[in-house]
Amino acid sequence: MEDDGELNQNPIYDIVIFGASGFTGKYVIREALKFLNTPSSPLTSLALSGRSHSKIAQSLKWAAHPNPPPDIPILIADTSDPASLRRLASQAKLVLNCVGPFRLYGEPVVAACVESGCDYLDICGEPEFMERMEAGFHEKAAEKGCLVISACGFDSVPAELGLLFNSRQWVPPAVPNRVEAYLSLESTKKVVGNLGTYESAVLGVANADKLQEFRRSRPKKPRPLIPGPPPSKGSLIEHQKKFGLWAVKLPSADSIVVRRTLASLTENPLGIAGVLETAEQIERRETFWSSVKPAYFGVKMGTKSLLGILRIIAVGVFIGLFGKNSFGRWLLLKFPSVFSLGWFKKKGPTEDEVSNTSFKMWFVGQGYSDSSLVATGNVKPELEIVTRVMGPEIGYVTTPIVLIQCALILLNQRESCPKGGVFTPGIIFGPTDLQERLQKNGISFDVVSKNSLPA
């Protein structure tokens, strides 16, 4: 293995994984190795990057097991050293950033990628970071030919593709009004969360006022025209008998990312043109987007028992109360296992806990069998279409699968993608073969039912 040499002699790698020694990073390496130099894979060269050569070498050894680790270059870079990040970006076609919380460490990596014109994907689930990157870098990224796409993990691709999949089941004249997603994590052992998700939630609460202020300072995005009235708030806790779940509203990045995709679609009803699309690719993109119908979208967290919901609410209350001041945040981050009631722990889940966990995400779409019904006034939806996305554990298995498949699409189909800019995954990957790729890699999409609703 080698360290990076002088800039002018450096080879260019298809993918550089930054943060390769972190919890998620080592699973991303493992997923990437499945596609390195395999038949018909566009991934022919890979490098790993982070602060510590020895830790990255350990991650590579873990990821390659039971095979011996392949000879993959290790590039030393640190978010506090802009020159090292520029060197890193100058050696990559595509950087996969796994270093969070992104609020603290993400911007210098985006800046380096935009400056050098290499593409950037991350697994961020932090709305403020994503929106600030769009505000600060979209124009320069467009000019430099650099695609910056956040949320290419469990946050928020299953939600985005899940919504698009449900939306496309509404064959005209039928139209959706709302789609509610219900997320359920299931395990034969114990569900243990990704500590980065917990840290991001704590910092999100701390900066909630700043995010609102930032949004007020930005130009308003166009809103899609959605047939029918917006859904009512409903009760805090819901018993969804169809799936045997108790559910509570989740303040997740998913609904925000979906709304941003729908705003992009409102501005670009047939999607965003690629650099050098063929006639066939143009037709595919336009056909795909003309079959998508916008809807109000929300996400709820579901568990099999009411006690599980009360536990989720309790953790939310702890983060909400303690996250507002620095001493409270110190306590939350120092003792994650205590304040998350055992859901998040510093040493992360065991391999056994990861392999025994899975997710189900139901998308309950409600709308109208005929769009003309909406014109008659404030009509309640009378048709329901339920779809489902299912897959393995969300933080360490589904997230790397999603990230690597997004990366392979960019390597393979870059010319049919937009030249550059800061975008959500939905608007870029919606019309590609991402859904089919995920299905081949263990994440399924199904239509569950189509029913009339009682009057």
Q: What is the pLDDT of residues 291-337, one digit of tens each?
A: 999 999 999 999 999 999 999 999 999 999 999 899 999 999 999 99
Angle between helices 127-144 and 107-116 (to 10 degrees): 10
pLDDT value of position 199: 85
365 band by pLDDT with thresholds 50, 70 and 90: very high
Amino acid 261 reads T
- What is the tens place of the pLDDT at every residue in 389-436? 999 999 999 999 999 999 999 999 999 999 999 999 999 999 999 999
Does the pLDDT at position 7 exceed 50?
no
3 band by pLDDT with thresholds 50, 70 and 90: very low
User: Which tokens is 291 given?
Assistant: 């079959």
Mean pLDDT of the chain: 93
pLDDT value of position 344: 85
9 band by pLDDT with thresholds 50, 70 and 90: low
Q: Name 336's Cβ contacts closer than 8 Å, sequence gap at least 6.
A: 195, 198, 344, 345, 346
Mean pLDDT calculated for residue range 240-251: 91
pTM of the model: 0.95
Amino acid 282 reads I
Mean pLDDT calculated for residue range 161-178: 97
pLDDT value of position 4: 43
- What is the tens place of the pLDDT at every residue in 88-130? 999 999 999 999 899 999 999 999 999 999 999 999 999 999 9
pLDDT value of position 2: 43
450 band by pLDDT with thresholds 50, 70 and 90: very high
Element at 361 (helix H, strand E): strand 357-368
Report d(CA 200, CA 105) in Å as an integer. Answer: 12
- What is the tens place of the pLDDT at every residue in 57-71? 999 999 999 999 999
DSSP secondary structure string, 174-237?
A: -EEEEEEEEEEEEESS-----HHHHHHHHHHHHTHHHHHHHHHHSPPPPPP--SSPPPP---SE
Closest CA relative to residue 380, chosen from 200, 232, 202, 186: 232
Closest CA relative to residue 312, chosen from 245, 266, 409, 244: 245
Closest CA relative to residue 64, chosen from 87, 34, 24, 37: 34
- What architecture does CATH give domain 7-149? 3-Layer(aba) Sandwich (3.40)
pLDDT value of position 8: 45
Mean pLDDT calculated for residue range 147-159: 97
User: Which tokens is 137 given?
Assistant: 């870098």
Q: Name 284's Cβ contacts closer than 8 Å, sequence gap at least 6.
A: 431
Report d(CA 275, CA 64) in Å as an integer. Answer: 36
Coil, strand or helix at 382: coil
Closest CA relative to residue 88, chosen from 31, 28, 11: 11
Domain boundaries, the chain: 7-149, 157-395+436-452
Does the pLDDT at position 194 exceed 80?
no
Does the pLDDT at position 175 exceed 70?
yes
Report d(CA 176, CA 162) in Å as an integer. Answer: 14
pLDDT value of position 79: 97
Does the pLDDT at position 377 exceed 80?
no
Closest CA relative to residue 194, chosen from 257, 113, 130, 100: 100
pLDDT value of position 165: 98
Measured in degrees and rounded to the nearest 5, phi and psi for residue 444 equal -100, 155
